[in-house]
Amino acid sequence: MQHLANVTELRARVDEPAIKVDGLSHVYAGADGGVAALLDITLAVGKGRFVVIVGPSGCGKTSLLMMLAGLRQPSQGTISCLGRPIPKPDPQRVGVIFQEASLFPWLSTLDNIEFPLSLRGVARAERRRRSEAMLRLVGLEGFGERYPHELSGGMKQRVSIARGLVQDPPLLLMDEPFAALDEQTRMTMGHELLRIWSTTQKTVVFITHSLTEAVYLADEVLVMSARPGRIIDHIQVTLPRPRSYEMMATEAFGQLRERIWQQIRKAA
Amino acid sequence: MSRPTPATVRWLLLGLLIILWEVVPLTGVLPELFLPALSKTLAVLYSDREIYFAALLVTLYEVACSMLIACGLGILVGALVGGTALLRNLLLPVFSSLYAVPIVILYPIFTAWFGVGSSSKIAFAGVYGFFPVMLSTAAGIRTIDPQFLLAARSMGANLVQQITRVIIPASVPTVFAGLRLGGALTIIGVVVSEMLTASAGIGYLVTLNRTILDSPRVFAGILAILVLSIAYYMLARALETRMVVWQSAGRQQRSASGVGTAGMPAPAAA
């Protein structure tokens, strides 16, 4: 029960944003002058918030996420993660979890989770201790010595989450992490993610195509337009937490989902 | 009665082949010049064991040296060509089309340059085995999932770490496939060049005895090379399985039923 109290406390001080994006635009260089991918994006994500970005395919959601992770630099505008710009990836500040398994098939589950730590030269015993703790957190005890090809899609995604969390970054970016999973596994994983989120108190930016997933997970939903991507709606999801599957059948849930759908339809 | 496993069938076929090799010449259907009995071949191999052993050592030495050249240079050049766009665009089409040239036609040039001794065999077989190693190394590096590199960068990997921790392990399976093929080609290269112009080696013994129509001694040489190739193949497979645990395990899962036919050696496409 103690962690619930902490979460509430955390919710109370959302005044200082974890992510601030100001006037961000991006143009991809091309032979015929380039393609505008993102246009004048301004947003703020409060600490400990779960923010979901939805939008039509090719609207630049992933580009935006890459920039928040320091993997790509915008043509214009500024990004600040936890008060500082992010000119290159900084895994201790921002963890990234990618779509489908970007796990390394030549490493065992534990070695995969430890990978970011071993890049920094963390001692072996310390690495093991932390990766095993992460394995427990995502509910995969006993699978540490398995290789990715021996795991199911949902299990692989759990390992990815564990790998993203192992450095304990306060910010977690997720790029359609459950897109490759079947509907049932996807719902279970969403629920699981909320459980992990509530125990770790991370700030999460989550990209998805699924409107149900968006409403189910989010504190706030940002709707993006078709290319060049702009933010056209900012929806507060006021459904109570912890969320349950039963909420999906409620009228409030349906209305939120419908509102996002209307926005996306207009945008596409 | 249950159906025999593919492995059992393979061993039975091998046994049948050996029995036929012994029995058919005895019936007199084939003259001894065409096919001497297995027992006679083995007897010759035993009585001439010193000659054959010395020849085998020469052949083994040449194979080892040319494998070293083929694998070393192949991996080095393949990594450079696969890793840099400029070299790739410049050289890959050239190398790919060279691969189709029957390089054996160049062997006379090798003997002119390196003489009739071991050096010309090593050089020729080295070049012969170089191409598959180099091409598969280049392909292995080129076809790495960009998602792996993106993930590594997001986790803070610098350029050196991207190479050692991602690019190298990710390309190991493809490189190994090239090494297995390249190694088999160097054996072929050595034996063929020994048969063409040489003064030592198993290939030389085969040619020598063929010209004097000593059939059992020809077959003794063939048997020696057969054993050498199969030993090489099994060694390469064992090494590959150990090195690429994650990949071979996946492959076994996928084709658990079809191992029988897919597992047999097929490097005879010289």
Identify the pLDDT of residue A226.
Answer: 84
Q: Are A221 and A255 a contacting pair, CB within 8 Å?
A: no
A119 closest CB neighbour out of B161, B169, B245:
B161
Chain centroid to CA B172: 18
Burial of A244 (0-12, 13-18, 19+ CB in 10 A): exposed
Interface A–B counts its CB contacts (< 8 A) at 62
Q: Do A115 and B245 touch (CB under 8 A)?
A: no
The 3 state secondary structure assigned to chain B is CCCCCHHHHHHHHHHHHHHHHHHHHHHCCCCCCCCCCHHHHHHHHHHCHHHHHHHHHHHHHHHHHHHHHHHHHHHHHHHHHHHCHHHHHHHHHHHHHHHCCCHHHHHHHHHHHHCCCHHHHHHHHHHHHHHHHHHHHHHHHHCCCHHHHHHHHHCCCCHHHHHHHHHHHHHHHHHHHHHHHHHHHHHHHHHHHHHHCCCCCHHHHHHHHHHCCCHHHHHHHHHHHHHHHHHHHHHHHHHHHHHCHHHHHHHHHHCCCCHHHHCCCCCCCC
Identify the pLDDT of residue B250.
Answer: 46
Q: Do A147 and B165 touch (CB under 8 A)?
A: no
Q: Using one digit for the tens of pLDDT, what is the confidence trace for A220-251?
A: 999 988 888 888 888 888 888 888 888 888 99
Show residues of chain B in contact with A175, CB under 8 Å.
none
Tell me how close the Cα of B154 comes to any Cα of chain A, in angstroms: 5
Q: What is the mean pLDDT of residues B25-34?
A: 83
Minimal-distance CA residue of chain B relative to A150: B250
Give the Cα separation of B6 and B1 in Å (integer).
15
Q: What is the mean pLDDT of residues A141-162?
A: 89
Show residues of chain A in contact with B148, CB under 8 Å.
102, 104
Q: Do A147 and B249 touch (CB under 8 A)?
A: yes
Q: Are B217 and B205 a contacting pair, CB within 8 Å?
A: yes
pLDDT-derived band of residue B253, with 50, 70 and 90 as boundaries? very low
Q: Do A149 and B155 touch (CB under 8 A)?
A: no
Minimal-distance CA residue of chain A relative to B162: A119
Q: Are B92 and B81 a contacting pair, CB within 8 Å?
A: yes
Identify the pLDDT of residue A56.
Answer: 83
Percent of chain B with pLDDT over 70: 90
Q: Using one digit for the tens of pLDDT, what is the confidence trace for B93-152?
A: 888 888 778 888 888 898 899 988 889 999 999 999 998 899 999 988 888 888 899 999
Minimal-distance CA residue of chain A relative to B154: A89
Q: Using one digit for the tens of pLDDT, what is the confidence trace for A74-124?
A: 888 899 888 888 899 998 899 999 876 689 999 999 999 999 999 999 999
Rg (CA), chain A: 18
The SS3 assignment for A156 reads helix
- Using the structure block, give the residue that is written with the tokens 């039963």: A246
- A104, A109, A118, A156, best to mutate vs chain B, most B CBs in 10 Å: A104
- Cα–Cα distances (Å) from A14 to A18, A152, A171, A240, in that order, read 9, 37, 14, 17
Residue B41 structure tokens: 């071949």
Residue B256 has pLDDT above 70, yes or no: no
A2-11, A169-178, A236-245, B32-41 — which one is most confidently predicted on average?
A169-178
Burial of A164 (0-12, 13-18, 19+ CB in 10 A): buried
Show residues of chain A in contact with B153, CB under 8 Å.
71, 89
Q: Are B135 and B96 a contacting pair, CB within 8 Å?
A: yes
What 8-state DSSP symbol labels residue A204?
Answer: E
Q: Are B63 and B187 a contacting pair, CB within 8 Å?
A: yes
Q: Do B155 and A104 touch (CB under 8 A)?
A: no
Residue B68 structure tokens: 């070293």
Q: Do A89 and B250 touch (CB under 8 A)?
A: no
Q: Are A79 and A19 a contacting pair, CB within 8 Å?
A: yes
Lowest model confidence (mean pLDDT) among B16-20, B53-57, B130-134, B255-259:
B255-259
pLDDT-derived band of residue A61, with 50, 70 and 90 as boundaries? confident
Tell me how close the Cα of B177 comes to any Cα of chain A, in angstroms: 16
Tallying the residues shown for chain B, one arrives at: 270
Q: Using one digit for the tens of pLDDT, what is the confidence trace for A27-42?
A: 888 777 778 888 888 8
What 8-state DSSP symbol labels residue A146?
Answer: -
- Using the structure block, give the residue that is written with the tokens 């001894």: B32
Interface of B with A in 157-186 (CB under 8 A): 157, 161, 165-166, 169-170, 172
B247 touches chain A (CB under 8 A): yes
Give the Cα separation of B205 and B28 in Å (integer).
26
Give the Cα separation of B95 and B90 in Å (integer).
10
Percent of chain A with pLDDT over 90: 31
Identify the pLDDT of residue A6.
Answer: 58
Percent of chain A with pLDDT over 70: 93
Lowest model confidence (mean pLDDT) among A163-172, B28-37, B73-82:
B28-37
Q: What is the mean pLDDT of residues A122-142?
A: 90
A24 DSSP β-pair partners = A41
What 8-state DSSP symbol labels residue A225?
Answer: P
Q: Using one digit for the tens of pLDDT, what is the confidence trace for B153-187?
A: 999 999 999 999 999 888 888 888 888 999 999 99
The SS3 assignment for A202 reads coil
- B154, B162, B247, best to mutate vs chain A, most A CBs in 10 Å: B154
Reported for B32-36, long-range contacts at CB under 8 A and 24+ positions apart, including other chains, are: B32/B215, B32/B216, B33/B213, B33/B215, B34/B215, B35/B215, B35/B219, B36/B215, B36/B216, B36/B219
Cα atoms in the Cβ-side hemisphere of radius 13 Å centred on A5 = 2
Residue A129 structure tokens: 């201790």
Q: Do A150 and B150 touch (CB under 8 A)?
A: no
